[in-house]
Chains A and B, each alone.
Chain A
Amino acid sequence: MTENERNDMSRRSFLTQGTGLFTSLWVAGQWPGIAAAAHHADEAANSPVPLGFTYFNAADAADVEAICAQIVPSGATPGAREAHAIYFMDRTLATYFSASAPAFSTGLTEFQASFRTAQPQVARFAAADPDMQNAYLKTVDHTPFFETTRMLTILGMFTSPKYSGNYQGAGWKLMGFVDQHGFSPPFGHYDAEYQGFVPYETGKAT
């Protein structure tokens, strides 16, 4: 990735809510990989216990999951850890996003090395206390690696559980999203109390 691309990526949002103008996502789609991964996704969705990692080793998974848990912390409502975002990341980096996996690995290695330099007394990021993790991430939260991890965390929490994250709909529970085919009005508090559209007295203007 060039410097310009890095700068551009740090500035851009994936999708601007208002205008429907899509901006680019640097991880390429891997749509044909879906069929290959579907079997594993079904197994993961139906298994009460995670199936283990394909792309990550255990130590790297612990570091990345610790980052995810800072991006969306646990608490009264589920966080990235409870939603199994790390398993989504593992599956997608092994399948759909495999073209981006080497770049992610490089980013992770650089992240781990720079953390060791900054905090030589701590064995690794996952072993640091949460306050230290939080403080350190504030120093790197505009890097492409962090932005990619942020994006994958969100995807892993809030897309369909069939992709191995959003475990038992934990992400949707956090957001209050109801996965249902259709709805009927009223949809919310304010439209329930709406009295109807009142025409303007001005009528047709030019």
Chain B
Amino acid sequence: MSGKKFKMGEMVDFVVVGSGAAGGVVARELSQAGFSVLVFEQGPRLGPADFEHDEFKYFFMSGITVDPKISPQTFRKTEDSVATQSPGMQPALYARLVGGSSNHYTANFWRFHEVDFKERSLLGAIPGTAFADWPITYDELEPYYTKVEWEVGVSGLGYASPFDPPRSKPYPMPPMPVKSSGVLLERGARKLGLHPFPAPMAIASEPFRGRPACVHCGFCMGFGCESRAKSSSLYNMIPEAEATGRCEVRSGSYVYHVETTPNRRVSGVHYFDAAKRSHFQPARAVVLSANGAETARLLLNSTSNRFTHGLANSSGMVGKHLMFNQGAAVHAVFEHELNEYKSIQVTRILHDFYMSDPKRGFYGGGGIDARMNPQPAIWAMSQGGDLPRWGNDLKARLEAFPRSMVAAGHSTSLALASNNVSIDPALKDAWGVPAIRVTYKDHPDDLAFARFLQDRSVEIMEAAGAQKIWRDSVQENTAGVHLLGTCRMGNDPASSVVDKYHRAHDVPNLFICDGSSFVTSGRGQPTMTIQALAFRAADHIGRFAKANEI
């Protein structure tokens, strides 16, 4: 750990709340542009030596994720029901440490396609939803996708998919070595005339910017990377920000209120230190990158006589339009060993079903990938659909573990005002701060399309020669790790929270950039776009600051 140490209460140019995928990028870009930056992270600072191959700790004991004992949340399906506390993994699940969820993500790094930004115009309105175009285009974001690939670090093969959006540069690293699951998905899909291709992954396939290549340990999804090959903010953006000498990352420091002035500007943040002492940190401007759940919560909790419904919430849109993405899995067993517990989760995907097709009778688009969540207990615990639950059938499935894989669909969630993050009226966290309440019920089209993708996955596994196939159940989401849409960007202050530059419509020196900025959900795998948005936002924020326009 290195970098600047600001004095307590010392004025800084920017406070950035959150050190994850977006916060890390914003901090690096603004500090490299010459600004003083103080990053607040509620979780601890950990390093490679702290991460373990221990699925009990990470999946069942909130090892690095938001812990229900200190940061509880509630969940309900609809706004007319009472939310109840979720005692295990939380409905808005994220990693709580320096680097945030970029530590425990699977590292699937698709770019969004052109259509994602203008789909409402192409397809028309969908009644009962807040389906809308983004205020930016793919072309505007393309340079920043390239920046993510080259500076965060993505392995892949450009234009391997005939459906790939335009790109200005090839990937900086070749694709990760293919696994047997990828070979089988490719085999089955090609037989069906589909177009599988090497998965873009934010994992180093060769040494990259001082980090080593992946050692194929198999513990990606849900785990911090012990070899630094996964392109987490902890390993790239944060140390590069600190290296400027103008950025401090203050871990164990939990921002709970954004302060404002009578002229309706932000003046800084109130936070608890590790000993739960409250402090005020002044700043010329504040950037919220705390994730799509915590950013919304912080705004809604930052009420004052100037902002009675929460900060930057004159539209009433803060917290609304939460999107988790949908999906469905197919489990397949083959004749020979795949050994999917080795190496990364995904090596082949296909985007043949990316476009929504009105002829299907429902909205939706997505991708299918070959993968397995390979930790033994998590895998063994899978149930739903027609998977065996116990007895000799379960044991036979367990014994087939080395010969097993999953073909997984990843798909759209429509934006609905009724799906949201709000403040629970009763529950408070260990600091006495009102807790997150998640309200979520999938749109019927999202479930219909997930089933559609599952049918296609079954066909692919059959064509690949699977000996046995089980369908997982297509379920309504009761939790999510993709926390999207809760402070959507838009040109109209009446229907969006931030403008196309991520500036809050209501507050000129408040910027919001993370998954909350999304207008539509994409087809899953949002982190690539979160980071591209963050690079773009930082460019514009820095420009505004230098022009004295903040």
Q: A175-B399, A188-B340 are in contact. Are A183 and B218 (CB under 8 A)?
A: yes
Q: A134–B479 Cα gap in the complex (Å)?
A: 34
Contact of A154 among B89, B179, B380, B392 (CB under 8 A): B380
A70 close to chain B: CB less than 8 A: yes
Residue from A17, A31, A70 having most chain B Cβ neighbours under 10 A? A17
Decide yes or no: A182 and B217 within 8 Å by CB, A73-B395, A77-B399, A79-B395 being known contacts.
Answer: yes
The answer to whether A155 and B60 have CB atoms under 8 Å apart is yes
8 interchain residue pairs of minimum CB distance: A18-B329, A18-B408, A19-B327, A25-B88, A182-B215, A189-B336, A188-B180, A190-B180
Is there an interface contact between A11 and B67, defined as CB atoms closer than 8 Å? Answer: no
Which residues of chain B are near A134, meaning CB under 8 Å? 391
A120 CB-CB contact with B under 8 Å:
no
The stretch of A42-50, A55-63, A108-116, A156-164 in contact with B is: A156-164
Contacts of A176 in B (CB 8 A): 337, 339, 399, 401-402
Judge if B494 is at the interface, Cβ distance under 8 Å.
no
B481 contacts which chain A residues (CB < 8 A)? 20-22
Q: A197: which B residues are within 8 A, CB to CB?
A: 157, 160, 175, 178, 186, 197-198
In the complex, A139→B382 CA distance in Å?
21
Known: A26-B87, A197-B198. A18 touches B398 (CB 8 A): no
The bracket for how many chain B residues form the interface is: 35 or more
0/1 string, B77-121, CB within 8 A of A gives 1 = 000000010111111010000000000001000000000000000
Contact with A along B234-274 (1 / 0, CB 8 A): 00000000000000000000000000000000000000000
Name the residue of chain B whose CB is nearest to the CB of A187: B342
Pairwise interchain contact A189-B338, C-beta atoms closer than 8 A: yes
| Nearest CB of B to A35, in Å | 12
Q: How far is the CA of A24 from the CA of B328 in the complex (A)?
A: 17
Complex-state Cα separation, A171 to B377, whole angstroms: 9
Complex Cα distance, B162 from A31, in Å, reads 47
Residues B371 and A18 in contact, CB atoms below 8 Å apart: yes
Contact of A19 among B55, B160, B329, B401 (CB under 8 A): B329
B184 touches A22 (CB 8 A): no
Which among B63, B68, B87, B380 has the greatest number of chain A C-beta atoms within 10 A?
Answer: B380
Tell me the complex Cα distance, A184–B343, Å: 8
Residues of B within 8 A of A89 (CB): none
B394 touches A72 (CB 8 A): yes
Report whether A188 and B336 are in contact in the complex, using a CB–CB cutoff of 8 Å: yes
Question: Which listed residue (A15, A202, A205) contacts B381, Cβ 8 A?
Answer: A15
A157 contact set on B, CB distance < 8 A = 377, 380
CB closest chain-A residue, reference B106: A20
* Residues in B neighbouring A36, C-beta threshold 8 A: none
**With a CB–CB cut-off of 8 A, which chain A residues contact B410?**
18-19
The complex places the Cα of A204 from the Cα of B167 at a distance, in Å, of 11
* Interface hits, A2-27 → B, CB 8 Å: 2, 5, 8, 11-27
Q: How far is the CA of A48 from the CA of B177 in the complex (A)?
A: 41
- Is the beta-carbon distance between A24 and B89 smaller than 8 angstroms? yes
Chain A residues whose C-beta falls within 8 Å of the C-beta of B477 in the assembled complex: 21
Selected from B53, B177, B382, the residue in CB contact (under 8 A) with A191 is B177
> Of the candidates B90, B217, B336, B383, which one forms a contact with A13 in the assembled complex, judged by CB atoms under 8 Å apart?
B383
Which residues of A come within 8 Å of B, CB atoms? 2, 5, 8, 11-31, 34, 70-73, 75, 77, 79, 96, 99, 134, 137, 141, 150-151, 154-155, 157-160, 162-163, 171-172, 174-179, 181-185, 187-191, 193-194, 197, 199-200, 202-205
User: Given A71-B394, A96-B60, list of 4 further CB < 8 A pairs?
Assistant: A18-B472, A77-B399, A182-B227, A189-B180
CB pair B160–A25 under 8 Å, yes or no, is no
- Within the complex, the shortest CB–CB distance from B227 to chain A, in Å, comes to 8
Interface centre among A28, A151, A184 (most CB of B within 10 A): A28
With A27-B87, A188-B336 known as contacts, the answer to whether A177 contacts B376 (CB < 8 A) is: yes
Report B109 CB to chain A, min CB distance, Å: 14
Taking a contact as CB atoms closer than 8 A, the residue among A21, A25, A160, A200 that contacts B54 in the complex is A160
Residue of A nearest to B326 (CB): A19
A91 to chain B, nearest CB (A): 11
- Rounded to whole angstroms, the CA-CA distance of A168 and B143 in the bound complex is 52
Cα–Cα distance between A171 and B178 once the two chains are bound (Å): 28
Please name all residues of chain B whose beta carbon is closer than 8 Å to the beta carbon of A16 when the two chains form the complex.
327-329, 382, 384, 472, 475
Chain B hits for A14, CB < 8 A: 378, 381-383
State whether the Cβ of B372 lies closer than 8 Å to any Cβ in chain A. yes
**Contact check: which of B61, B340, B389 meets A150 at CB < 8 Å?**
B389
Complex: how many Å from CA A54 to CA B400? Answer: 34
Tell me whether A185 and B177 are in contact (CB under 8 A): yes
Q: State whether A204 and B93 are in contact (beta carbons under 8 Å apart), knowing that A24-B479, A73-B392 are contacts in the complex.
A: no
Output the least CB separation between B88 and chain A (Å). 3
- Decide: A34 and B61 in contact? CB cutoff 8 A: yes
Least distance between B508 CB and chain A CB atoms (Å): 37
Say yes or no for B163: interface residue by CB 8 A criterion: yes
Contact A13 B395 (CB under 8 A): no
Q: CA separation between A150 and B445, bound complex, in Å?
A: 33
Contact with A along B150-176 (1 / 0, CB 8 A): 000000010110111000000000010
List residues of chain B with CB within 8 A of the CB of A96. 60-61
